[in-house]
Amino acid sequence: MARFSFLEWPVLRQLRTSDKTGRGESVVSQQTRDTTPRTVTADKVVQSVCPYCAVGCGQKIFVKDDKVVQIEGDPDSPISRGRLCPKGAASEQLVNAPGRVTDVLYRAPKAKDWTKIDLPTAIDMIADRFIEARRNHWEDFDDKGHPLRRTMGIASLGGATIDNEENYLAKKLYTAAGAIQIENQARI
Amino acid sequence: MANADCIIIQGSNMAECHPVGFQWVSEAKARGARIIHVDPRFTRTTAIADKHVPIRAGSDIVLLGALINRVLTEGRYFDEYVRAYTNAANLISDDYVDTEDLDGLFSGFDPDTNSYENSTWSYQTDEHGAPLKDPSLKDPKSVFQILRHHYSRYTPEMVEENCGIKPADFDYLYESVTENSGRERTTCFAYAVGWTQHSLGAQFIRTASILQLLLGNMGRPGGGIMALRGHATIQGSTDIPTLFNLLPGYLPMPSAGVHDTFDDYVAAVGTPETHKGYWANGRAYATSLLKAWWGDAATQDNDFAFDYLPRINGAHGTYQTAVRMLNDGVDGYFLLGQNPAVGSANGRMQRMAMSHLKWMVVRDFSLIESATWWKDGPEIETGELKTEDIDTEMFFLPAANHTEKAGTFTQTQRLVQWRHKAVNPPGDAQSELDFFYELGQAVREKLKDSDDPRDRPLLDMTWDYPVDEEGEVDAEAVVKEINGYFIGGDRDGEPLDNFNQMTDDGTTAGGCWIYAGVYAGGQNMAARRKPRDEQDETAAEWAWAWPANRRILYNRASAAPDGTPWSERKKFVWWDDETGKWTGKDVPDFPIDRAPAARSDAAYGGPANLDGDDPFIMQADGKGWLFAPSGMIDGPIPTHYEPQESTVANPLYSQQNSPTRMVMRREDNLSAPGAGVPGSEVFPYVFTTYRLTEHHTAGGMSRWLPYLSELQPEMFCEISPELAAEVGLEPYGWATLVSPRAAIEARVLVTKRMTPLTIGGKTVHQIGLPYHWGVGGQGAVVEGDSANDLLGVTMDPNVYIQNSKYVAGTIMPGRRPRGPELVDFVEKYQREAGLSPESGNQQVTVPAEDVEASHHAGQGRSAGGHAHRGGDSAVGVTPGKTLDGGRDGASDGDGTTASATVDSADDRSGRITIEPTEATEPAETAVSNRADDGDPSDGDPDHGRHADGSAIAETEVAEAEARARAARDRQENEEEDD
Amino acid sequence: MSTPTIDDGTLADGHWHDSAHNRKGFFTDTSICIGCKACEVACKEWNRNPQDGTFELLGSSYDNTGSLGANTWRHVAFIEQDSERIEKARESGRKLVNLGMPTIRPRTDESAAAQPLDGALGAAAEGRTSAGLPTTPDLNVDLLAPGALEPTDLSNVDTTPPDTADFRWLMSSDVCKHCTHAGCLDVCPTGALFRTEFDTVVVQNDVCNGCGTCVAGCPFGVIERRDDGTINTPTDRDDRKAADMDVPNAGTANKCTLCYDRLVEGQEPACAQTCPTQSIKFGDREDMVDQAHDRVAELHAKGLTEARLYGANPNDGVGGTGSVFLLLDEPEVYGLPPDPRVATKDLPKMYANAGIAALGMVAAAGLAFLGSRRS
Amino acid sequence: MSTSEYDSYRPPEPEGGRRKRRRGGRGGPSGPDGSGGRRGGRGGNGRGGGWKNRGADGNREMPMVEDVEFTSYYGRPIVKAPPWGDEIGAYLFLGGLAGGSSLLGFGAQLTDRPGLRIASRMTAIAATGIGGAALVADLGRPERFLNMMRVVKVSSPMSLGTWILSGFGVGSGVTFAIELDRITGEKLLPLGPLRKVLHAMETPAAVESAFFATPLAAYTAVLLGATAVPTWNAAGRNGLPYVFVSSASMAAGGAAMALAPVTETGPARLFALTGTAGEAYAMSAMRKRMHPAEVDPMDDGEPGHKLHRAEKLLIAGAVGAAVVEVGARVFAKKLGGRSSGGSASASDVAGAVAEAVGSAGSAGVAKRSWKTRAVLRGLSVVSGAALAAASAYTRFGVLEAGIESTKDPRHVVEPQRARLEERRACGITDDSITTGR
C-alpha cells in the first residue's frame, strides 16, 4: 500500500463488488495483484544435474543478475520427472550458502590461524611443493629392478561430485607426474 | 525396476538415500509388486515395504545362500535359463576343493600371503581350450553340483541361528522370490553400501547374482540387481577414475613386474585371443588413451609412451596411503570435495595422518573438518595434537559448485549428463578443471627447461585446452578428448562416433573408450535434453549413456535361447526372423544380426565369435557366472564368514573371518577380539552406520545448510527399548559409545524400529549410527561426534572398501569425557579387553591340515593359469573389470604362483621396501605415538594386492533400472492421459 | 460463476465471482509418504522461509521441526506404532466405513436422508449458506457420476488384512487445509487474508499488521505469526541456538499460500513438484477428492481398513478442506483435530448473546441510576 | 503412536528446571534434561504431561482420567494460541472499563452527578487510550495498525471491534475534551469560537459513546469466542458475553466507587453489584455448560489462580460495595448529600477530585461527619478497587486459560471427540471430517 487511494479503499470495494464480506477480491492489495514468481522474472534458466546422490535428477537453475535465485526439479528429465529429495531441494541454499568461503586461505606451519592469499600465489606455491614432493619421493625401480617411474610423495582424495572432465584432467596430470596414490569417494 | 513383481531391498535404505529413485519402487508397488526390506533396522524404506525382515548385519550370505540352497533342492530355478545362459554346466578343475571340505578354505590358499592361487577354480577344457560341459548337470564337478554341495548346509535353521530371521519370515521371502520369478514374472534386488561396506562386500553381491541367475532374473525387465550409489558421479569417477588402480575406461594401471611392456599390458587388458566380447580390442583402447595423453610423443616406436605410465605394485588406496602418511612417506595431499576427517573410517587415524603431511590442499565450499583439524579437531581437544606443533601447511581453495561450471556427471545407470554453467564462481572460487589446468600449466612452466627424463611425461603431455574469455577451460574440449578423435587421414581431428573406430596404430586418440560417442559428430550428446514426454520410453535422446548410448545391458537374456520372448508379459528384446535382426523395446545389447542359433567354433576371438545365445557379452564366455573361475580374490563362490569383530562364532566353518580380508594391524586400528575370545565381552554390541535422507555423507554439503540441518540437527544413535532398559539409557538423553578405537557421544533415540535378534541362543543388540556429523570445521550449522571415528579399517580384498556396517562396541548413559581424559577413557577399554594389534586379526582359523590341503591343491596346478580367463567381473554383468590377469607366464615367478592375479604378484615385495621410514619407532611416547609406532609394515594391510574389481561394488548392474525408466515413462504417460 | 463444477455447497467463502480457475487443492496420500521431508525444504526454499527452531532433537522420532508454523508450512510427522495400535486403527477405520460416512453410495437400508454426499460432486444445493452450519442434506444426487466409487459396502469385500505387521512407522506431510470455511480468513480484521481466485487462502504480507487473531482462528493450528514471541518450536535448551537468517515478513502472520505466486503462472506448488513419491498431489480440488476416494477404496479392497480420508467431506465443520489427506489412523494421532469446526460458525449466536448482554448492561446501568435516585 | 512404554525410560523432571516459560510454548517432550514429560499417551496420560509441566505451575500433577482414551502427536498442541500477551489482557479489562464508565458518565450527566461524571469520563478515555495503545503494542507490525480500518468484516469480531472502539473513542474523546476544558476553567484550550460548538456536542457525544459502550464491553467476548482456542470457543458459545459485560459493569462501577464521592456513586455501586451478581452467575452457568476438558484450564495453573483470586475479590468487593451502599443510605444526612453540594462548578469539581484521591475532605463539610465519611470513603475506594481488580483478574484469567488450553491437545481432542460421538449417537453421521470413503 504505497500510496493510499480512496477509491481503492477496500471498504468501498467491498460495497462495489460482490465480495460484500470482504474475504475475497475486494481486499486484494496492489502487491498481490502484481505477484510474479521469480521463475518468471529470471534472466535465464539453465538445465543442470543435482550434485548430491547418483540418481542424477535433473535441475533447472534460475538465474537473475548472475545470481542463482531458484533451483528446482526439471520436469523434462526422464530420470527424476521434476522431483527432488530434500538435499536436491536445498541446492539453492548450497549454492548461496552463507557459510561458503570464497577466499583462498593459507596456513603456515605452526600457525594458529589462516591468512588470506591470492589465487595465483597459491597455485604457484602448490606447484612448487608439487614438484618438490614429486622429487622427494620418486621411485625408479622396485627392489627387483622392475621399473616403477612414480612418486609416492603426492596423494589425492577426490570427491565423487567432481565432474568427469575434472577427474579426467586430474588423473591425467597426476599420472603424467607419476603420482599414483589417487583415490576417490567411490571406495569410501 | 518399476516392472518388477517383487523387489528385495537388502543392504540399502533406498527410500532414505535415494528418495527420487525410490519413486520407481513406489510405482512397482502401486502396480502390485511386493516389496521386502531386509535390513537390521526398520527404516523409512521399510515403512512402505510390505515386509520387514530384520537381519543381523553381515550375515547376508547365509540368508542368500539359504535361498540358493532351497531353490536348488526344491528345483525352483529357471531351468532353461540356467542351462542356456549360465555356466552351470561347465566342469571345474578336478583339483578344486570346496570350503565344505576344507572347513572354510577353498583350494589354493597360500598361508604365507593369505591369498588364493586360483588355478584350481578354472574350467576343465578340451585340447582347443574350449570348456567342457555336462548338459545333464549331474557331474559332481559341474558348477551346478558344486553349488548344491557348497550351499547344502545353508538351511533355514542356519538362517535363524545366524541371521536372526524367523523361519516364517524366511519362508515368506523364499516364496516371494520364487513365485515372482520365471517366464512370467521377475524379481529385482537392490543394494547399496549396506553390502559393499563389508569385508565380504563383493561376495554379497555375487551371492545375489547367483540367486538371480538361477531364478532367471538377469537381463530381463524388472529383474537384475540394482546398485544404489551415493554420489552425483560416483559412477563417472570409476569410469574416468581417480583411483590408483585404474585408468579411464577400466583399463588397469600397469603393475610393476607384470606389465613391464606394452604387450604384457595389452595381453592383460584383452585380446582377440582371449576374448569373445568387446574387451578383445584392448590394444586399441589403450593406444588411443596414450595418444590422447601424450599426443605426438606417443608413437608406435615407443609403444605409444607406455613407459610414461607409472607402475603400481600393491594397494595404494586411501587407507594404505594414510598409513604411509603416518610414516612420513607422503608430502602433499589434495582433498577435492572430500572430508576424510569425518567421512573415512577410523577418523582419528586420518587426522593424525594429515598432521604428518608437509602440505595439504583442501578444495571445498566451506571450511570443513578436514580443513580445520589442526585448530579445532578432536585431537586438539584431547591434547594429542597441538596447533603450534603441527608443521603441515594448509591451503584452502574455494571450489566452484555445480551451477558455476559446465561438465558431466555420470549417474548410477551410466547416464552421462551435461550440466550447463549458470553463473560465474564467486570470489576466488574456481572449478577443479581450472585448478588442475592451471596447476599443470604452472608445473610445466617451472619444469620447461628440465632435461630430466622423469619430467618428460609432464612436458610431453597434451595440455593445450582452449580457455574462454574468463580464462576458464572449455569443458567441452575435454569431453571431446575423452570421446576421442581421429589423427591424420581425411577425418583428422573429427570426433569418433564409437569405440569400434579406435585403432591400435596411433590414428585415433581417445581418453576413455567407453565414452566414445559422447561427442559423436561434434555434438555434445550428454547435453541433449529432449523432454521425456517428447520421446519414447527409453528416452534415448536425454543425455547419453555409455557404452554407445545403450541404456540397458545384456538384454539379450530377456529372450529365450531361440530368440522369442520368454513371455508376453516380460517381452523386451527378441529376434525378428523376417528382418534377421534383434529388435524390441530397447537397443539390443548384442550383435544386431547374430541369429539365436548362430554358433562359433572358436572359444574366443572377439565379438565376432559370440554365439547366438551368449547374452552376457562382456563376460569372456558370454555366460552368466554362477561360479567365478577368476576375478574374485576371495573365492569362486560366496561363502559366509563372520565380519571382523563379530561376537558370533561362524556356525559353518572353523574359519571365522574371511581368510583373505585385508586387515591393518596397528595400535591405532585395534580390533575387538572376536567371538569367544576373552575380551570380546567388553564390546558386546554391534554398531552399524548409515545415512539419513536429510544429510549428505560427511556433511560438507548439508551441515552447513540451515534447511537440512534443522531436519536432523543432532548426532544420535538408535537403540531398541530392550537395550535401553538393559543399559539404562534415557530417550533423548546422552549416550557414550565406545569401540576399540574411539569413544563418541550421541543422543539416544529409543525405538522399536531396532529389534534385538536372537543369534545362537544369545541376544544380539544392534545400534544404528548415522555418520553425518563431525567435530570442528568452521561455520557448520550443526556439529556432533563422528560415527566414523568408531570404525576400524578392515577391507574387502576385491575392492578395498572398508567394513563400516559391523563394528563391535559398547554403550553407556551419559556424555563422553572431554580433553585428555577421553584418551584415557578409550585406553581403559582397550586394556580391559586386552587388545593388541593382533586381536581379531587372525587370518586363518582352520586346522593346519586343511590349510595344507588347500595349499597343496593349489600347488598342484601352479604351472598354468586358467585356460579360461580374461573375463570380467565375476559379479557378472558390468563391462570394465577385465583386469584379471592369469595370462600364461605373465607372472615373473617371484614366489607367488604363476597364475596369481596380476597385481597380487608383487604384493609383498612391493609393499614396504620403498618405505622412506624404515626405522621402527620405539613405543615410548605414550599418546601421539600411537599413530605411527610399530613397524611400517604393520601398517600396510597384510596383503596389498590390487584387484581388478575396484569397481565391482560401485559399478554394479544397472540394467533393471534403465529398463524401468522405459516403463516408467509409459506409466507416466498413462497417468497424464487420465 | 464460470466454474460450473463448483457447487454452492462447496463454494468457498469469498469465492471470486469471475474467477476463471477451478478450485485448487492438494491430496496428500500418507500411505506412500517416505518421510524424506523434501516438501519441507522445497517449501522453505521457494518461500524463503527462515529455518525453524534451534537445532535440537525434539524427541519425536525423525520429526525435528515439530509442527506447522510461521516458517514451516509443510511438516512431516513421524509416528511409530506397535501392532496393538495398528489393530485399533484398522478397527476404527472399519467402524468409519460402516458408519456410512459421506460420499458413500446410497445404501439399501433406511434413510436416503442420512445419506451424505460425494464430496467430489459437491454438496447438494440444498441451500446451505456458506457461513451456516451445514445441516444434514436431504439430497439425492447422482452418485454414479464419474469419480464415484465402485465398491461401497465393505461387508461384502474380503478385507482380511494382509500381513499385519507388528510395527509400523507412519509418515505424513501436513499442510494448511485451505478450508472452505476458513477461520483465519473470517476473523482477519485487515483483509490481509483473502480468498484467491484459486479458492485458496493466502496472507498478504504487505497488509497484515500481525494482530494474531487468525492464529487463534485456525482450528488446525496452522497459521502463526512470525516472531519468536509466540510458539517457538522446540524446547529451551541452552546449548542450542537458532542460526541467523534473514527473516522476511517478520511480525506478520504466515502460512502456506499453496504457492499462490506459482499458481498465477500456472506452475505447481513447490512441495508437490518435488515430492519423490507423489505422496503430495496437486490439482483441481475436485480431481484431488476423486483421487482420494479412489485411493481409499483401493486400500480398503486390500483389507487396509485403517485408511480414511480427512477433509473430503463438504458437510464437516469447515465445509471440507482444500487439502485432502488420506490417513492411516485417527486424525489426532497425526496432530489433527478429530472434529474441527470453524469458530465463526458460532458467530451469529455469539453476536446475539453479546447483543443481549449489551442490552442487559444498558439496563443494568439504567436501573442503577434509577435505584439510586435521590429522594 | 506415542508408545508410552518408553515413558518409563524418561528421566524424572529436574528440580526447579531452568526452563523459561514461553507463551504458548509448542513444547514437545524432550530437552537435554529430557524434560517435557511423557507424550500424550493413552489413558489420559497426556494430561498434565509434556509441555504442561513446562508451565509456570511447575510439576503439579493432574488427576488421571482413566476412562478417556486419548491420543495425540507427542503431546504437541493441535491449535495454536494467538500471540497475545498481557497487553491483550489489559485491553480486555480496559475496554470493559471504558464501556461501563462511559455509561456511568452519561447517566451521571443526565442525573447531574458531576463527580461521577467527571471520574467516569476520565476513566473511560484513559482506559480507551491505554487499551488502544496496548492493542497496537501487541501487533506484530504496530506501524500498520491503521490497516484495521481497511475493511469492515462482519465475520471478524476484531474488525467490528476496531470500528466499535473507534466510534466509542470519538464520543469519549469529545466528552473528555469538554471535561478537560471545564476543569481548566475554559481557558486552557485555545478553542475560541469553537468552544461553544464543543460544548454543544456534549450530549450527542455522550450518547454516541454510550451507544458504542456496551458493544465495546461485549465484543471482546465474541472475539475470544470466535476462535479455535478450546476454552475461549466453548466459553464464547456458553455465555462469555454475559461474563464480560458483567465484568465490565463491575469494573466501571468499581472504578467509579474508587474515584468519585460516595454520595454520587450510588449508581456505580448498584451497577457494580449487578455486575458481580451477573458475573458470578454467568460464570458458573458457563462453566457448567462447557466440556470438562475445556473448563480445566480455568481451574488449573496460573489462570486458575487468577480466576480464583477474581472470585475472592469479587465477593469481597461486593460485600464492601453493599456495605458502602447501605452506609451511604443510612448516613445520607451525615454525608451531606449532594443537595448541599450544589451544582457542578469548577470549584466543586476540584473538591470532588480532591476527595476522590482520599484527601481529608473539603471545606464546608461538617466536622462530626468527618469520621463516617472517611470510613465510607475508604471502604468505597477499597471495595471499588477490589471489584475492578476482580474484573481484571477475570479477564486475564480467561485470556490465559484459553492460551493454556491450546497447549495440551487433550483440551482439543476430548471435547471434539465427545461432540462427534454425541452426534453419531444421535444418528448424524455425515458431518465428520474423517470419512471412511
Counted across chains A and B, CB pairs separated by less than 8 A come out at: 507
Instruction: Pick the residue of C8, C39, C193, C204 with the most A CBs within 10 A to test the interface with A by mutation.
Output: C204
Q: Which of residues 46-65 of C touch B (CB under 8 A)?
A: 51-53, 55-57, 59, 61-62, 64-65
Whichever domain contains A47, its CATH number is: 2.20.25.90
Q: How far is B521 from chain D (nearest CA, A)?
A: 58
Q: What is the DSSP string of A92-157?
A: HHHHT-TT---SEEEE-TT-SS-EEE-HHHHHHHHHHHHHHHHHHTEEEE-TTS-EEEEEEEEEEE
- Residue B19 has its nearest CB partner, among C36, C61, C170, at C36
Rounded to an integer, what distance in angstroms lies between the CA atom of residue B241 and that of residue A168? Answer: 7
Summarize the confidence of residues A100-125 as an average pLDDT. Answer: 95
Q: Cell numbers at residue B586, please?
A: 530397447
Look up the domain containing A139 and give its range.
104-187
CA C203-C205-C210 angle, 5° bins: 85
Q: What is the DSSP string of B656-721?
A: -B-TT-EE---GGG-----TTSTTGGGS-EEEEEE--TTS-TTSTTTTT-HHHHTTS-S-EEEE-H
Summarize the confidence of residues B863-890 as an average pLDDT. Answer: 30
Enumerate residues 6+ apart whose C-beta is below 8 A from D274: C364, C367, C368, D246, D249
The CATH classification number of D86-338+354-412 equals: 1.20.1630.10
Model confidence pLDDT, tens digit, residues D136-170: 999 999 999 999 999 999 999 999 999 999 999 99
Share of chain B above pLDDT 90, in %: 50
Residue in this structure with the C-alpha cell 545333464, named with its chain if needed: B136
- Residue D34 has its nearest CB partner, among B724, B725, B730, at B730
- Residue D150 has its nearest CB partner, among A21, A23, A27, at A27
- Please give the pLDDT value at position C228: 55
Q: Which residue of B has its CA nearest to A149?
A: B310
More confident residue, B768 or A6: B768
Query: Burial of D182 by CB count in 10 Å (0-12 exposed, 13-18 middle, 19+ buried)?
Result: middle
Mean pLDDT of the residues in chain D: 80
Model confidence pLDDT, tens digit, residues C33-43: 999 999 999 99
Model confidence pLDDT, tens digit, residues D242-257: 999 999 999 999 999 9
Task: Determine, for residues B336 and A170 on separate chains, whether the beta-carbon distance falls below 8 Å.
Answer: yes
Share of chain D above pLDDT 70, in %: 76
Q: How far is B705 from chain C (nearest CA, A)?
A: 10
Rounded to an integer, what distance in angstroms lies between the CA atom of residue B57 and that of residue D275? Answer: 74
Q: State which amino acid sits at residue D173.
A: G
Task: Determine, for residues B731 and D31 on separate chains, whether the beta-carbon distance falls below 8 Å.
Answer: no
Task: Determine, for residues A149 and B531 on separate chains, whether the beta-carbon distance falls below 8 Å.
Answer: no
Q: How far is B579 from chain A (nearest CA, A)?
A: 31
Share of chain C above pLDDT 90, in %: 56
Q: Please check whether residues A17 and A87 belong to one and the same domain.
A: no
Rounded to an integer, what distance in angstroms lies between the CA atom of residue B303 and that of residue B130? Answer: 32
Among A39-53, B55-69, D5-19, the minimum mean pLDDT is found in D5-19
Q: What is the DSSP string of C315-343?
A: TSTTS-BSEEEEESS-GGGGT--SS---G
Q: How confident is the model at residue C143 (pLDDT cuts 50, 70, 90)?
A: very low
- Please give the pLDDT value at position C112: 36
Q: Please check whether residues A28 and A47 belong to one and the same domain.
A: no
Using the Cβ of D154 and the Cβ atoms of chain A, whether some distance falls under 8 Å is answered with yes
How far apart, in Å, are the Cα atoms of D41 and each of C357, D7, D8? 41, 9, 12
- Please give the pLDDT value at position C127: 35
Q: State which amino acid sits at residue A131.
A: I
- What is the bridge-based pairing of β-strands A115-117 and A104-107? antiparallel
Using the Cβ of C286 and the Cβ atoms of chain B, whether some distance falls under 8 Å is answered with no
Q: Which domains does chain B have, with CATH numbers?
A: 662-832 (2.40.40.20)
Q: How far is D63 from chain B (nearest CA, A)?
A: 25
End-to-end CA distance of chain B: 23
Q: How far is C92 from chain B (nearest CA, A)?
A: 21
Residues D102 and D94: beta-carbon distance below 8 Å: no
- Please give the pLDDT value at position D20: 36
The distance from CA B333 to its chain's CA centroid, rounded to whole angstroms, is 23
Among B524-533, B592-601, B879-888, the minimum mean pLDDT is found in B879-888
Residues of chain B positioned with their CB less than 8 A from the CB of C245: 706
Task: Determine, for residues A88 and C274 on separate chains, whether the beta-carbon distance falls below 8 Å.
Answer: yes
- Residue C194 has its nearest CB partner, among A23, A89, A98, at A23
Q: Which residue of B has its CA nearest to A42?
A: B422
Residues B532 and A83: beta-carbon distance below 8 Å: no
Residues of chain B positioned with their CB less than 8 A from the CB of D10: 730-731
How far apart, in Å, are the Cα atoms of B445 and each of A12, B449, B479? 78, 8, 25
Residue in this structure with the C-alpha cell 521434476, named with its chain if needed: A82
How far apart, in Å, are the Cα atoms of D294 and each of D45, D55, D405, D410? 17, 18, 7, 9
Q: Which residue of A has its CA nearest to D147?
A: A1
Task: Determine, for residues A146 and B238 on separate chains, whether the beta-carbon distance falls below 8 Å.
Answer: no
- Please give the pLDDT value at position B949: 30
Q: Which residue of C has its CA nearest to B733?
A: C59
3-state secondary structure (DSSP) of residue D381: helix
Share of chain A above pLDDT 90, in %: 71
Summarize the confidence of residues D129-142 as an average pLDDT. Answer: 94
Q: How confident is the model at residue D62 (pLDDT cuts 50, 70, 90)?
A: very low
Helix (H) or strand (E) holding C200, with range, is none
Helices (H), C50-116: 83-98
Q: How confident is the model at residue B895 (pLDDT cuts 50, 70, 90)?
A: very low
Using the Cβ of B721 and the Cβ atoms of chain D, whether some distance falls under 8 Å is answered with yes
Q: How many residues does chain C have?
A: 375
Q: Please check whether residues A127 and A157 belong to one and the same domain.
A: yes
Residues B385 and B355: beta-carbon distance below 8 Å: yes
Residue in this structure with the C-alpha cell 525453524, named with its chain if needed: C52
Summarize the confidence of residues C181-200 as an average pLDDT. Answer: 95
Rounded to an integer, what distance in angstroms lies between the CA atom of residue C68 and that of residue C36? Answer: 16
What total of structural domains would you count in chain A? 3
Subunits with 3+ C-beta pairs closer than 8 A to C: A, B, D
Q: How many residues does chain D have?
A: 437
Model confidence pLDDT, tens digit, residues C147-185: 333 334 444 444 455 556 789 999 999 999 999 999 999
Rounded to an integer, what distance in angstroms lies between the CA atom of residue C354 and that of residue D79? Answer: 25
Q: Please check whether residues A73 and A49 belong to one and the same domain.
A: yes
3-state secondary structure (DSSP) of residue D425: helix
* pLDDT exceeds cutoff 90 at B618: no
Enumerate residues 6+ apart whose C-beta is below 8 A from D4: D38, D39, D41, D42, D45
Instruction: Pick the residue of A8, A12, A14 with the most D CBs within 10 A to test the interface with D by mutation.
Output: A14
Q: Which residue of D has its CA nearest to C188?
A: D156
Q: Which of residues 161-180 of C touch B (CB under 8 A)?
A: 162-163, 165, 167-171
- Residue B730 has its nearest CB partner, among D3, D5, D9, at D9
- Please give the pLDDT value at position C243: 56
Q: Cell numbers at residue B661, please?
A: 580380508
Task: Determine, for residues C335 and D229 on separate chains, whether the beta-carbon distance falls below 8 Å.
Answer: no
Residues A81 and A55: beta-carbon distance below 8 Å: no
- Residue D22 has its nearest CB partner, among C104, C136, C232, at C232
Rounded to an integer, what distance in angstroms lies between the CA atom of residue B460 and that of residue B304? Answer: 12
- Please give the pLDDT value at position C239: 57
| E runs forming strands in chain C | 24-29, 74-82, 167-175, 193-195, 201-203, 224-225, 253-254, 280-284, 308-310, 323-327
Residues B691 and B771: beta-carbon distance below 8 Å: yes
Model confidence pLDDT, tens digit, residues B406-458: 999 998 888 999 999 999 999 999 999 999 999 999 999 999 999 999 999 99
Q: How confident is the model at residue B221 (pLDDT cuts 50, 70, 90)?
A: confident
Instruction: Pick the residue of B723, B726, B732 with the most D CBs within 10 A to test the interface with D by mutation.
Output: B732
**Closest C-alpha among C81, D191, C113, C289 to residue B42:** C81
Residues C243 and B781: beta-carbon distance below 8 Å: yes
Model confidence pLDDT, tens digit, residues B695-726: 988 888 899 898 999 899 999 999 999 999 99
* pLDDT exceeds cutoff 60 at B9: yes
More confident residue, A89 or D190: A89
Share of chain C above pLDDT 70, in %: 74
- Residue B42 has its nearest CB partner, among C35, C65, C169, at C169
Rounded to an integer, what distance in angstroms lies between the CA atom of residue D74 and that of residue B495? Answer: 63
Instruction: Pick the residue of A27, A71, A76, A80 with the most C CBs within 10 A to test the interface with C by mutation.
Output: A27
How far apart, in Å, are the Cα atoms of B713 and each of A90, C45, D401? 15, 18, 34
Beta bridge pairs of residue B565: B559
Residues C131 and C181: beta-carbon distance below 8 Å: yes
* pLDDT exceeds cutoff 60 at B324: yes
* Number of DSSP helices (H) and strands (E) in chain B, helices first: 28, 29
Q: Please check whether residues A112 and A48 belong to one and the same domain.
A: no
SS3 of chain D: helix, strand, coil, percent, to 5:
65, 0, 30
- Please give the pLDDT value at position A4: 62
More confident residue, C168 or B11: C168
Among B311-315, C310-314, D284-288, the minimum mean pLDDT is found in B311-315
Task: Determine, for residues C364 and D271 on separate chains, whether the beta-carbon distance falls below 8 Å.
Answer: yes
- Residue C13 has its nearest CB partner, among A23, A29, A88, at A23
Task: Determine, for residues A85 and C38 on separate chains, whether the beta-carbon distance falls below 8 Å.
Answer: yes
Residues of chain B positioned with their CB less than 8 A from the CB of C45: 707
Torsion, CA C109, CA C111, CA C114, CA C120, rounded to 10:
70
Using the Cβ of A164 and the Cβ atoms of chain C, whether some distance falls under 8 Å is answered with no
- Please give the pLDDT value at position C141: 36
* pLDDT exceeds cutoff 60 at B298: yes
Residues C240 and C202: beta-carbon distance below 8 Å: no
Among B906-915, B957-966, C70-79, C162-171, the minimum mean pLDDT is found in B906-915
Instruction: Pick the residue of C37, C49, C244 with the most B CBs within 10 A to test the interface with B by mutation.
Output: C37
Residues of chain C positioned with their CB less than 8 A from the CB of A71: 45
Q: Please check whether residues A80 and A118 belong to one and the same domain.
A: no
Among A49-63, B328-342, B783-797, D350-364, the minimum mean pLDDT is found in D350-364
Q: How many CB atoms lie within 10 A of CB C244?
A: 10
- Please give the pLDDT value at position B230: 65
- Please give the pLDDT value at position B489: 87
- Please give the pLDDT value at position B969: 36
Q: How far is B750 from chain D (nearest CA, A)?
A: 8
Residues of chain A positioned with their CB less than 8 A from the CB of D155: 21, 23
* pLDDT exceeds cutoff 60 at B734: yes
Q: How far is A98 from chain C (nearest CA, A)?
A: 9
Q: Please check whether residues A15 and A79 belong to one and the same domain.
A: no
Summarize the confidence of residues D204-220 as an average pLDDT. Answer: 94
- Please give the pLDDT value at position D33: 36
Break chain D into its structural domains and give their ranges: 1-76, 86-338+354-412
* pLDDT exceeds cutoff 90 at D272: yes
Q: How far is B959 from chain C (nearest CA, A)?
A: 21
Rounded to an integer, what distance in angstroms lies between the CA atom of residue B878 and that of residue B870? Answer: 14
Summarize the confidence of residues A80-96 as an average pLDDT. Answer: 92
Q: Please check whether residues A154 and A174 belong to one and the same domain.
A: yes
- Please give the pLDDT value at position B286: 95
Q: Which residue of D has its CA nearest to A11?
A: D151
Query: What is the 8-class DSSP label of residue B124?
Result: P
Q: Cell numbers at residue D187, please?
A: 481557558
Using the Cβ of A93 and the Cβ atoms of chain C, whether some distance falls under 8 Å is answered with yes
Q: How confident is the model at residue C226 (pLDDT cuts 50, 70, 90)?
A: confident
Share of chain B above pLDDT 70, in %: 84
Q: How confident is the model at residue B892 (pLDDT cuts 50, 70, 90)?
A: very low
Subunits with 3+ C-beta pairs closer than 8 A to A: B, C, D
Mean pLDDT of the residues in chain B: 82
Q: State which amino acid sits at residue D275.
A: G
Is the bond into D12 cis (omega within 30 degrees of 0)?
A: no
Q: State which amino acid sits at residue C25.
A: G
Rounded to an integer, what distance in angstroms lies between the CA atom of residue B216 and that of residue B5? Answer: 13
Rounded to an integer, what distance in angstroms lies between the CA atom of residue C351 and that of residue D241? Answer: 9
Q: Which residue of B has its CA nearest to D6?
A: B721
Among B200-204, D220-224, D339-343, the minimum mean pLDDT is found in D339-343
Q: What is the predicted ipTM?
A: 0.85
Among A9-23, C273-287, C311-325, D383-397, the minimum mean pLDDT is found in A9-23
Model confidence pLDDT, tens digit, residues B926-948: 222 222 222 323 333 333 333 33
Summarize the confidence of residues B749-770 as an average pLDDT. Answer: 91
Using the Cβ of B357 and the Cβ atoms of chain D, whether some distance falls under 8 Å is answered with no
